[in-house]
């Protein structure tokens, strides 16, 4: 058997192993993505077989749709807050649990546990906490003499979006913390010993050793938090359904309402395509920028 035929046989074996996974990927992901681009250029209502091809009309309508523009603004504000606060809180928690404390194993479980809950469970739990009359939060504020701080947390447009941000932080800060903690444990102790000899304090060691060497986990956490927050749906829909007065309306909730309640699947699919492209673009930019930082620090 010639060398060329051996390579061909080997390639055929590889193809045989890859083919089932590629077929599943094509049917479940690639196919729907490609058909979505087509449906976004039609006026399909989602039920009948008849539809008209209208080109980029849905996309041009999005540029002047005030509801969509407001939903996009809310989406970006929501995502920006989640990315900054989630990572900003996770790093100190990881540093605290990286120290030699007796209960750190228990604390890891406590902080990480919310991440394994369904967003629906988290949403219904926080509905009880935020309930204006008998909710836990307002009750505690009243008990400690801060009754003037009591609010309709999910019913007031000024606070609703930030109240949902707090829910997401409660659920996923521990997840980011675990990733940072795993990275912290790979930093050589010799670097800190050398810094101690040079007389560096805690802040200088964090600034010049810890934070730069957390670059790999920072890339992971920023990208995951961005993608998760940009496509967040269930926790928002369970708690506010995009209200009050569209204060928590995001692209995903508006997409759902447009497609499934207003029977305008073509227009709703156009929103989904825009969201997909935005997430893809933002993720690529983040990875390129943050990877450069990793290489630079290395």
pLDDT at 296: 55
pLDDT at 6 exceeding the cut of 80 = no
- The tokens describing 91, both together, are 């790093």
pLDDT > 70 in the chain, percent: 95
176 burial level (CB within 10 Å; 0-12, 13-18, 19+):
buried
* pTM for this prediction: 0.89
Average pLDDT over the chain, rounded to whole?
90
* % of the chain with per-residue pLDDT over 90: 64
Q: How confident is the model at residue 105 (pLDDT cuts 50, 70, 90)?
A: confident
Please check the confidence at residue 229 and state whether its pLDDT lies above 60. Answer: yes
Confidence at residue 46, expressed as pLDDT on a 0 to 100 scale: 81
What confidence score (pLDDT) does residue 94 get? Answer: 94
Tokens, residue 205 = 């060691």
Range from 14-18, 264-268, 287-291 carrying the lowest mean pLDDT: 14-18
Mean pLDDT of 138-149: 90
The pLDDT value given to residue 4: 52
Is pLDDT above 80 for 129?
A: yes
- pLDDT band for position 225 (cuts 50, 70, 90): very high
What number of other Cβ atoms are within 10 A of residue 295's Cβ? 9
The answer on pLDDT for 142 being more than 70 is yes
User: Which residue's entry shows tokens 């523009």?
Assistant: 69
Q: Would the pLDDT of 96 be above 80?
A: yes
What is the Cα–Cα distance from 2 to 8, expressed in whole angstroms? 10
User: CA angle at residue 237 from 256 to 228, to 5 degrees?
Assistant: 85
Question: Per-residue pLDDT averaged across 251-257, rounded?
Answer: 95
Residue 42, phi then psi, degrees to nearest 5: -130, 175
Cα distance between residue 162 and residue 257, in whole Å: 22
pLDDT the model gives residue 5:
62
At residue 2, the pLDDT reads 56
The tens digit of pLDDT for each residue in 170-218 reads 999 999 999 999 999 999 889 988 988 888 888 999 999 999 999 999 9
Give the closest residue to 90 by CA, choosing from 174, 170, 164: 174
Domains, in order of start, for the chain: 65-297 (1.10.3720.10)
């Amino acid at each position: 058997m010639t060398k060329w035929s051996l390579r061909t046989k080997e390639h055929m074996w590889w193809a045989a192993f890859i083919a089932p996974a590629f077929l599943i990927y094509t049917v479940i992901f690639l196919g729907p993505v490609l058909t979505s681009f087509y449906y976004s250029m039609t006026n399909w209502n989602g039920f009948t077989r008849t539809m008209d091809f209208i080109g980029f009309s849905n996309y041009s309508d999005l540029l002047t749709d005030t509801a969509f523009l407001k939903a996009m603004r809310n989406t970006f504000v929501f995502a920006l807050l989640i990315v900054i606060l989630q990572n900003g809180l996770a790093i100190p928690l990881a540093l605290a649990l990286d120290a030699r404390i007796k209960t750190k194993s228990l604390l890891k479980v406590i902080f990480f546990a919310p991440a394994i809950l369904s967003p629906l469970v988290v949403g219904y739990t926080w509905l009880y906490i935020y309930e204006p009359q008998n909710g836990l939060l307002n009750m505690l504020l009243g008990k400690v003499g801060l009754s003037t701080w009591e609010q309709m947390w999910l019913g007031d447009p000024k606070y609703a979006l930030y109240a949902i941000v707090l829910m997401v932080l409660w659920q996923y800060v521990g997840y980011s913390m675990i990733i940072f903690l795993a990275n912290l444990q790979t930093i050589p102790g010799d670097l800190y010993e050398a810094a101690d000899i040079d007389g560096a304090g805690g802040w200088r060691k964090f600034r010049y050793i810890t934070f730069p060497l957390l670059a790999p986990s920072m890339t992971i956490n920023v990208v995951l938090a961005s993608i998760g927050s940009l496509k967040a749906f269930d926790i928002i829909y369970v708690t506010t359904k995009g209200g009050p007065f569209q204060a928590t309306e995001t692209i995903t909730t508006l997409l759902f309402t447009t497609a499934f309640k207003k029977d305008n699947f073509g227009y709703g699919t156009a929103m989904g395509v825009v969201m997909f492209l935005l997430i893809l673009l933002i993720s690529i930019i983040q990875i390129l920028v943050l990877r450069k930082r990793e290489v630079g620090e290395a």
